[in-house]
Amino acid sequence: MRREPRWHVVTVNPARDELTPDSPLPEPLAGLGDAVDVQIRRAAGDRGIELAVRLRDGAQSPVTAGARRLAGRDPNQAIRAALREVKQLLETGEVLHPDSPPTTQTTVVNKPLQMATRQGRREGRL
């Protein structure tokens, strides 16, 4: 049984109307190419713009998706990261990254935070 690919949606509040359905996609999304479907629409209550992105190739099996995710090659990770970067670019004009290299030495106490930050960059979350 094939499931429809999941839509990943983010609401963006750009400083000006620089993103319309007719405008070219910002670079992080344009870099995904023809592998994704993109929808751009006004958010409810005129509170910005909604960007919706999903894979075009159809759904992956849960086993394949899990293996790809663990290997860091899941296309959904790239979608989430691109949406996060587009949101930051449109709202602030730059992509914000955690300090790199870390400002502290690795210890037993801060190791989980460093691992979460590294994983968050790949996942497009944190």
Whether 6 and 54 have beta carbons less than 8 Å apart is answered as yes
In whole angstroms, give the CA distance from residue 84 to residue 82. Answer: 5
Residue that the structure tokens 């996609």 belong to: 25
Residue that the structure tokens 């992080």 belong to: 28
pLDDT of 56 = 85
In whole angstroms, give the CA distance from residue 78 to residue 101. Answer: 23
Domain ranges (residues) in the chain? 8-97
- Per-residue pLDDT tens digits for 35-75: 899 998 888 888 888 999 998 875 454 445 555 555 556 77
